[in-house]
Every structure is written in structure tokens, then in C-alpha cells.
């Protein structure tokens, strides 16, 4: 089967792991994501994953509670590793070889992130999960996803959300929101569409890396993107 994308970077939010829960990790969501990843992996797509930690801890909220910004971000990085370990466990139970690479040294649980080693894992057909963000405070997991995607020479960032693309306003709050099937980086910035933070969008724009925003909760969507079907919304050069 012809593939549109041979190497992808999948960005998942920590909140997406909550499912119907208000906090933590819903095992049903882990199984769903595992199935979606397995479907593209079986096609021969090389898969890297960056996952957030907002279901466990958010540095932004912590700052409002008086926690030092750097400390809050470090706690958030550790939350991403918890999520990464949970996802790795389910993927491997379903027969997919994985590697967890961390931007923070914790060698008992994860390999240190080394770019060449990450690319080699992908070439060998292993799903690589990148934990602990960039390893630095003040950078979001969106920026980590953009950075890792550029470093591993991914063809695209696919960002899984609860809605089926990019809209001019929140479609969950505004039924009349207008969907963009395709939009440029500049228009994303001009319209202040908060699909990813400014640093991440700028990094993708400078490296001409497309972003596909789609509904990860619809079974088969990730596979459809990999084979070139029109799913969600695409951000690319104008």
C-alpha cells in the first residue's frame, strides 16, 4: 500500500488519556490509542510519540497556586513520563516493540534521548515514545513535539484532539464555528488559532513541517492520514 507519510510524530495531550474520567488515566483510552498506533505501524509507518502530562499535573496551574514556575514545569515533565510508561506498557502487551526515551536522565526507566539512536530505533520498526518534554522549563510538550519531529526528520506532526480539525473558534462551545480543511502557518498565527503554542508553530514553519490536526477518538483516523485520505485539517506553507 502506498503511504503518504512514512515517518510520523504523533502528539497526544495528557488530557486525552483521561477519557470519561476527570483525572488520571483511563485504561480504555490507552487501549484505543494502542490500536490506532498498531494500525499504522502494521503498514510500515515509523512512529514517534510525544505525550503531555496535563491529566496528572499542569505547570501553568501550579504557578497560579504559588509553585515556582520552573519547579511546576519539572513536575509536569515527570507527569509526561508516567503517561509514556503507561502507553509503552499497553503497546508492548499488544505486541509492538517500543523504546521510551527521556530528555531527563532516568536510566532505570528510560533511555536518555540521543537523536541518532532514536532514528535507528525507528528504522528498526520500534515505536519511540519521547518523555519529559524538551527537558527544560518554559517549553510545552507542543514545542517538544515540533522539536523531536524536526530532529528525527518526520514527514508530519499529527496532533490528536477531541475535535475533527481546526476551527475559527471552539466547536465544542460554538456550533457555528467554521472548519479549515487547510490553512497556512501565517494564518494560524494571524488568527491566533491556538492549535499549538507560538514556539511550536514557528519551528514547524521554519522547517516546512506540516501539521495535521484530527479527532483521535474516531477509530481508523490515524491510518487514513497515513495513507493520504483527507482527515482533519492540515497546516502547511501558503
Q: pLDDT for 95-140, tens place per residue?
A: 999 999 999 999 999 999 999 999 999 999 999 999 999 999 999 9
Exposure class string for 169-199: b at 16+ Cβ within 10 A, else e: eebeeeeeeeebeebebeebeeeebebbeeb
pLDDT at site 61:
60
Question: Helix, strand, or coil here: 233?
Answer: strand
Residue 15 within a domain: yes
Q: pLDDT for 138-155, tens place per residue?
A: 999 999 999 999 999 999
Stretch 167-182: mean pLDDT, rounded?
91
Q: pLDDT for 201-231, tens place per residue?
A: 999 999 999 999 999 999 999 999 999 999 9
Q: Using the 8-state DSSP alphabet, how is residue 34 labeled?
A: H
Domain that holds residue 215: 7-236
Q: What is the CATH number of the domain that holds 119?
A: 3.40.1160.10
The confidence band for 65, taking pLDDT boundaries of 50, 70 and 90, is confident
The confidence band for 180, taking pLDDT boundaries of 50, 70 and 90, is very high
Q: Using the 8-state DSSP alphabet, how is residue 178 labeled?
A: P
Residue 2 within a domain: no
Residue 94 within a domain: yes
Residue 237 has pLDDT above 90, yes or no: no
Residue 14 has pLDDT above 80, yes or no: yes
pLDDT at site 198:
93
Question: Which of 95, 118, 99, 120 has the alpha carbon at shortest distance from 42?
Answer: 95
Residue 30 has pLDDT above 80, yes or no: yes
Q: What average pLDDT is seen over the chain?
A: 93
Question: 142 or 22: whose pLDDT is higher?
Answer: 142
Tally the domains of the chain: 1
| Torsion 91-92-96-100 (CA) sign | positive
Look up the pTM and report it. Answer: 0.94
Question: Helix, strand, or coil here: 42?
Answer: coil
Burial of 121 per CB tally in 10 Å (0-12, 13-18, 19+): buried
Question: Which of 77, 221, 81, 238 has the alpha carbon at shortest distance from 158?
Answer: 221
Instruction: Give the CA count within 13 Å in the CB-facing half-sphere of 37.
Output: 33
Question: Helix, strand, or coil here: 51?
Answer: strand
Amino acid at each position: 500500500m502506498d503511504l503518504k507519510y512514512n515517518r510520523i510524530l504523533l502528539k497526544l495531550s495528557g488530557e486525552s488519556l483521561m477519557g470519561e474520567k476527570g483525572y488520571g488515566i483511563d485504561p480504555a483510552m490507552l487501549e484505543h490509542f494502542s490500536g490506532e498506533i498498531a494500525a499504522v505501524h502494521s503498514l510500515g509507518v515509523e512512529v514517534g510519540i510525544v505525550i503531555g502530562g496535563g491529566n496528572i499535573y499542569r505547570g501553568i496551574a501550579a504557578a497560579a497556586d504559588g509553585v515556582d514556575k520552573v519547579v511546576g514545569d519539572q513536575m509536569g515533565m515527570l507527569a509526561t513520563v508516567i503517561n509514556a510508561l503507561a502507553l509503552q506498557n499497553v503497546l508492548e502487551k499488544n505486541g509492538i516493540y517500543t523504546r521510551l526515551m527521556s530528555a531527563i536522565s532516568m536510566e532505570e526507566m528510560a533511555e536518555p534521548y540521543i537523536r541518532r539512536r532514536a532514528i535507528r530505533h525507528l528504522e528498526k520498526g520500534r515505536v519511540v515514545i519521547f518523555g519529559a518534554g524538551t527537558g527544560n522549563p518554559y517549553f510545552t510538550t507542543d514545542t517538544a513535539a515540533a522539536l523531536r519531529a524536526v530532529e528525527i526528520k518526520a514527514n508530519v506532526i499529527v496532533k490528536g484532539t477531541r475535535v475533527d480539525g481546526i476551527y475559527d473558534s471552539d466547536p465544542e462551545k460554538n456550533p457555528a464555528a467554521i472548519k479549515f480543511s487547510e490553512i497556512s502557518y501565517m494564518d494560524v498565527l494571524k488568527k491566533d488559532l491556538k492549535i499549538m503554542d507560538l514556539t511550536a508553530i514557528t519551528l514547524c514553519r521554519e522547517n516546512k513541517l506540516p501539521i495535521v490536526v484530527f479527532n483521535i477518538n474516531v477509530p481508523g483516523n490515524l491510518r487514513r492520514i497515513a495513507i493520504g485520505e483527507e482527515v482533519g485539517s492540515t497546516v502547511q506553507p501558503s
